Amino acid sequence: MANFVQDFAHGSMEQKDLLGGKGANLAEMTRLGLPVPPGFTITTEACRSYLRTGAVPTDLRVEVTRALRHLEDTMGRRLGDFHEPLLVSVRSGAKYSMPGMMETVLNIGLNDASVQGLAELSGDERFAWDSYRRLVQMFGRTVLGIEGSVFADALEAAKVARGVTADTDLTAQDLRELTEEYKEVVRRESGRDFPQHPREQLDLAIVAVLDSWNTERARLYRRRERIPDDIGTAVNVVTMVFGNLGSNSGTGVAFTRDPATGQGGDYGDYLPNAQGEDVVAGIRNTLPLSALEEIDHEVYTELRTVMRRLETHYRDLCDIEFTVEQGKLWMLQTRVGKRTAPAAFRIAAELESERVITMDEALTRVTGEQLSQLMFPQFDREAERTLLTTAMAASPGAAVGRVVFDPRTAHEWAERGERVILVRKETNPDDLEGMIAAAGVLTSRGGKTSHAAVVARGMGRTCVVGAEDVLVHPEDSTFTVAGHTVAQGDVIALDGSTGEVFLGEVPVVPSPVTTYLTAGLEEAVAQAGEDTETVQLINAVDRILRHADAARRLGVRANADTGEDARRARELGAEGIGLARTEHMFLGERRQLVERVILAADDAERDAALADLLPLQRADVTDLLEAMDGLPTVIRLIDPPLHEFLPDLTDLAVRVALHKERGASGPEVERDEVLLAAVERMHEANPMLGLRGVRLGLVIPGLFALQIRAICEAYADRRAAGGDPQAYIMVPLVGSAMELHLVRDDAMRIMAEVSAERGIAIDLPVGAMIELPRAALTADRIAGAADFFSFGTNDLTQTTWGFSRDDVEGAFFAQYTVNGVLTVSPFESIDQRGVGRLVEIATEQARAAKPGMSLGVCGEHGGDPESIRFFQDVGLDYVSCSPFRVPVARLEAGRAAV
Ligand code: ADP
Ligand code: MG
Ligand code: MG
């Protein structure tokens, strides 16, 4: 016979795949000898069979009969018996918790006859009718698909007619009439009578629960939570116990620790004289769990013993559902409870202190995402606030500032010390300057992987995206939302953790965890002062993070382009720089110089322009090497296509056309014309696949040489100043070993020159950024010319998939997620089978060609938990991510190692 039904007495918590979470835990509690009402679980295997065939398997009907008979024998009662009826609940329960997504029906087995039996059995007629009317209501809604409000309206009407406000004030007679009315509703709305036969009720309820696996909202929830669609739900059939049998009965939920703060002690809500769903539905105000102590001391003590037992057994925070029936405690559910980020750290650390779990386990109980949540400043929840809208939370943080609509203004205002929020329909690379200057970014379009979101996350800027009801009018520098018009200069506040946008100032409270990470334990504890909860949180984070650092095998470096970023990264625990982008050094004021390089009429002019860039570049590198003294600093030569440093083609063309129309002349006009010609000449259909990276370096004479010289001179300067610079030269977009050989030869020559000039030995490692499939596939050859590799997984993802990030994120990816081609953006988490396979191949080849060669990752993926795990398994030496992600990566690398 198929494995379709299993008694609670025979299962265990290991069987979540088969029994679902609820069923497995009910079985476990039964096994522990805790007071669980007897019952059985219809397995997920039965559900999968039902989903495949669309019909209830005959085997299932037979197995249910056997299990039900066994249950009836155990209880000494029959389902729906006229005299001593057995009643059951039919409860959904998948492997992964899907709160509120699926159905549960209580009081199955009641009908016109057995309601009398229940009244006799309990000696409480009111209770019997209350249970029956609940069944008709739940069954009507869940099984027969009748709108819940129809029943709710009837109940309201009954209360009004009797002049009472609480359900509990309705008499037995009132409830009997209400039940009749409900049955009438069923007849009217569903076109059939409420089924009187208990077994028919049971079978229909089981099918309804199975069907609830595939409701629209359940599917949506699974997609969002990345729960597979084909695992199915289990169905639990549980003997009913009654919390609505008078004042010595009741129902409640409880936690073994506070899931909000992690504080030890029992927490929960209790509702006397009620059935389970009343607590969640908020029908009446609940009492705190401690009130049960007054109501029934014995039950309270037993409950606390059970809770302690569960926590010891599960070795974690448990949440439970329980019911008290006339002074007898029944356990109806337990599971390892969800918790907030601070609670996760505190619970893990405190369970370890109590020697319930080991330090390794404590580490696995927290996530990098939770740590990053703890790092951002937060808005003061107590403060008065005007909510404008709630959109997508793209990059956490709490940012307050004046609204600006263009990057120039953002930059100018920030220069004079204003905090600004950049508001755009969407952002593109031209907005970078503005995004750097802004405290936060708000866009009306785009999703979590839009340009704004990705860039803001990388920079640690607060960002809210896709605020569709925000209408941005850049022409008159305003936006409108929810009846408000917000003008340039008005103050707004963005909560990047919730996606909320507020009008006006909202006070911000700094994160004590960030204080800890940057200033150290002592300082953070001193600042927390009397606030013991915060002190405990900081201590918890400290202990767990230190353990992660001790355990991890991967190094963690930062992507940082300036000395300031590098210092910050170092404070946050970076063990070097995995990627310093030099193109950032060509922006701003220096654009003019770059223009001169590009527009140079001959070699002499170009060399002069390059010579002017040299001291600037050298100063940048010196700053970086000083900040990272003693630690490896990988400096990547210029990567993007040159036109990115020039004005926009359309803007320029318009300007030149205007000059012409007005008959203007002079040096300004001439310059624009020359510039336009250059921009046109350099215009590429696919710049991403065009003249960039090493190609540019080989084609524009002197450009790489300038950068390499700047690095060597900075190195020499730092050495002369008594420092310990560890500069690495990285060549971007290498596709062929020959490219790297050419650059390397040049680098060797320049190193020799500077060595001679400065009188010190300079032998800096030269390596390749592996970001083209061809590079990965010929890594053994490239390794011949490289001292190190770093995987540029952003570009490697683009070039492997053949799509450009800026063009496909947003609507296209959204569609691809809906139809299941993608479960997650490959730019967020590495595509292990495709892009990851290339990393694997290249790693194998590199290790074979040059054992011990340094291999790292410097793409966005370096800060992503799943990807970090993958990189460790592949055997890389380090990951590199944005400074703000460094603590996250440290923690995740530790988790990956235990
Ligand atoms: P959910 O998964 O939505 O919490 P449950 O299956 O846990 O749904 O049931 C809903 C409510 O009904 C809970 O409060 C639960 O405690 C209560 N309940 C379920 N089965 C029984 C039962 N056999 N006796 C009494 N109350 C029950
Ligand atoms: Mg429940
Ligand atoms: Mg790249």
Tell me what pLDDT residue 282 has: 53
CA of 371 to the centre of ligand 3 (A): 28
Q: How confident is the model at residue 424 (pLDDT cuts 50, 70, 90)?
A: very high
User: 804-824 in b/e burial notation, b at 16+ Cβ within 10 A?
Assistant: ebeebbbeebeeebeeeebee
Please give the average per-residue pLDDT across 673-686, as a whole number.
86
CA-321 nearest atom, ligand 1: 16
State the sign of the Cα–Cα–Cα–Cα dihedral 618, 622, 628, 632.
positive
Which residues are near ligand 1 (CB < 6 Å)?
A: 37, 89, 91, 100, 104, 106, 238-241, 275-277, 321, 323, 332-333
Spatial contact of 324 and 243, defined as CB atoms under 8 Å apart: yes
- pLDDT, tens digit (0-9, with 9 covering 90-100), for 714-746: 999 999 999 999 999 999 999 999 999 999 999
> What is the pLDDT averaged over residues 818-826?
83
**What atom in ligand 1 is closest to the CA of residue 104?**
6
Domain 5-239: which CATH number of 3.40.1190.20, 3.30.1490.20, 3.90.1150.10, 1.20.1250.20: 3.30.1490.20
DSSP character string of 667-686: HHHHHHHHHHHHHHHH--SS
- The protein residue with its alpha carbon nearest to ligand 1, atom 15, reads 276
Tell me the pLDDT tens digit for each residue of 58-84: 999 999 999 999 999 999 999 999 999
| Phi-psi domain of 184 (left: phi exceeds 0; alpha: psi -120 through 50; beta: other) | alpha
- Ligand 1 mutation pick, 249, 321, 334, max ligand atoms within 8 A of CB: 321
Instruction: Please give the pLDDT value at position 373.
Output: 85
Superfamily for the 250-339 domain: ATP-grasp fold, B domain (3.30.470.20)
The pick from 79, 104, 209, 326 for probing ligand 1's pocket by mutation, whose C-beta has the most ligand atoms within 8 angstroms, reads: 104
Closest alpha carbon to 817 in 397, 185, 219: 219
pLDDT exceeds 70 at position 448: no
Answer whether residue 787 shows pLDDT above 90. Answer: yes
pLDDT given at position 666: 87
582 is in an annotated binding site: no
Q: pLDDT category, 95, cuts 50, 70, 90?
A: very high
Cross-strand partners of 386: 503
With pLDDT > 70 as the criterion, what percentage of the chain qualifies?
99
Of the listed ligands, the closest to the CA of 89 is 1
Task: Give the torsion through C-alpha atoms of 351, 354, 355, 356, to 10 deg.
Answer: -50
Least reliable range by pLDDT among 159-173, 573-587, 651-665, 800-814: 800-814
**Ligand with the closest atom to the CA of 322:** 1
Q: What is the mean pLDDT of residues 27-47?
A: 98
Judge whether 795 is annotated as a binding position: yes
Between CA 864 and CA 874, with CA 868 as vertex, the angle to 5 degrees is 145
Is residue 471 scored above 80 in pLDDT?
yes
Average pLDDT over residues 409-427: 93
Return the CATH number of the domain spanning residue range 392-495.
Answer: 3.50.30.10
Centre of ligand 1 from the C-alpha of residue 187, in Å: 27
Instruction: Find the 860 Cα to ligand 3 centroid distance in Å.
Output: 11
**Which of 36, 89, 96 most suits a substitution to test ligand 1, by most atoms within 8 Å of the C-beta?**
89
Averaged over 396-421, what is the pLDDT?
A: 93
Overall CATH class of domain 552-641+684-897? alpha beta
| Nearest ligand to the CA atom of 638 | 3
- Relative to the alpha carbon of 276, which ligand is closest? 1
Ligand 1 centroid to Cα of residue 65, in Å, is 22
* Higher per-residue pLDDT: 689 or 8: 8
Q: Residue 379 forms beta bridges with which residues?
A: 508
* E strands, 131-263, in order: 233-239, 250-257
How many angstroms does the Cα of residue 417 sit away from the middle of ligand 1?
57
Residue whose structure tokens are 């993608």: 822
Q: Where in the chain is the domain with CATH 3.30.1490.20?
A: 5-239
- The Cα–Cα gap between 467 and 479 comes to 11
Q: Model confidence over 368-387: pLDDT tens digits?
A: 989 988 998 888 877 889 99
Query: What is the predicted pLDDT for the residue at 318?
Result: 96
ipTM above 0.90, yes or no: yes
- Work out the pLDDT band at 688, boundaries 50, 70, 90: confident
Mark residue 100 as left, alpha or beta (left: phi above 0; alpha: psi -120 to 50; beta: remaining): left
> Ligand 1 center to residue 246 CA distance, Å?
19
Dump the DSSP string for 311-364.
HHHHTS-EEEEEEEETTEEEEEEEEEPP--HHHHHHHHHHHHHTTSS-HHHHHH
Specify whether the backbone of 42 is left (phi greater than 0), alpha (psi in -120 to 50) or beta.
beta
Q: Which helix (H) or strand (E) holds 107?
A: strand 104-108
Ligand 1 atom 3, closest CA: 100
Residue 764 has pLDDT above 90, yes or no: yes
Mean pLDDT in residue range 814-833: 86
Percent residues over pLDDT 90 in the chain: 71
Q: Please tell me whether 794 is known to bind a ligand.
A: yes
The tens digit of pLDDT for each residue in 277-286 reads 776 555 567 7
Distance between CA 149 and CA 595 in Å, rounded?
69
Q: How far is the CA of 71 from the centre of ligand 3 (A)?
A: 65
The verdict on whether residue 53 carries a ligand-binding annotation is no
The residues assigned a catalytic role are 451, 858
**792 is annotated as contributing to ligand binding:** yes
559 annotated as belonging to a binding site for a ligand: no
Segment 503-530 shows an average pLDDT of 92
CA Rg value for the chain: 33
For residue 797, the surrounding DSSP H or E stretch is helix 793-801
What letter would DSSP give residue 631? Answer: S
Average pLDDT over residues 397-418: 93
Asked if residues 364 and 476 have their Cβ atoms less than 8 Å apart, the reply is: no
Residue 517 confidence class, pLDDT cut points 50, 70, 90? very high
Nearest ligand 1 atom, CA 91 = 6
Q: Which residue has the higher pLDDT, 587 or 329?
A: 329
Q: Which atom of ligand 1 is nearest to the CA of 332?
A: 16
CATH 3.30.470.20 residue window(s) in the chain = 250-339
Query: CA-to-CA distance for 218 and 791, rounded, in angstroms?
Result: 39
97 Cα nearest atom in ligand 1: 2
Among protein residues, the one with the nearest Cα to ligand 1's atom 6 is: 91
Neighbours of ion ligand 3 (CB under 5 A): 771, 792, 795
Mean pLDDT of 316-338: 95
The model's confidence at residue 436, banded by pLDDT at 50, 70 and 90, is confident
Q: Near ion ligand 2, which residues have CB within 5 Å? A: 333
Please state, in angstroms and as integers, the Cα–Cα distance from residue 795 to each residue in 379, 551, 783, 810, 860, following that order.
36, 31, 19, 18, 10
Q: Residue 643: its pLDDT value, please? A: 76
- Which ligand ends up closest to the CA of 693? 3
- pLDDT above 70 (res 676): yes
- Which residue's CA is the closest to the ligand 1 atom numbered 19? 89
Specify the ligand 1 atom closest to the Cα of 239: 23
Residue from 317, 763, 197, 863 nearest 559 by CA: 863
Question: Candidates 277, 283, 334: which one to mutate for ligand 1, based on the most atoms within 8 Å of Cβ?
Answer: 277
The secondary structure of residue 406, as a DSSP letter, is S
Q: What is the number of the ligand 1 atom nearest to the C-alpha of 37?
A: 23
CA distance 286 to 646: 66
Task: Indicate the helix (H) or strand (E) that contains 104.
Answer: strand 104-108
How close is the Cα of 689 to the center of ligand 1, in Å? Answer: 58
CA of 440 to the centre of ligand 3 (A): 25
Residue 546: Cβ-neighbour burial (10 angstroms; 0-12, 13-18, 19+): middle
Cβ atoms of 314 and 288 within 8 Å: the answer is no
Annotated binding-site residue? 3? no
- The CA angle 402-407-412, to the nearest 5 degrees, is 65
Beta strands (DSSP E) in 407-467 are 420-424, 440-443, 462-465
What global pTM score does this model have? 0.82
How far apart (Å, rounded) are the C-alpha atoms in residues 15 and 8?
11
Tell me the backbone φ, ψ of residue 481, rounded to 5 degrees: -160, 135
- Please indicate whether residue 694 or residue 810 has the higher confidence score (pLDDT): 694
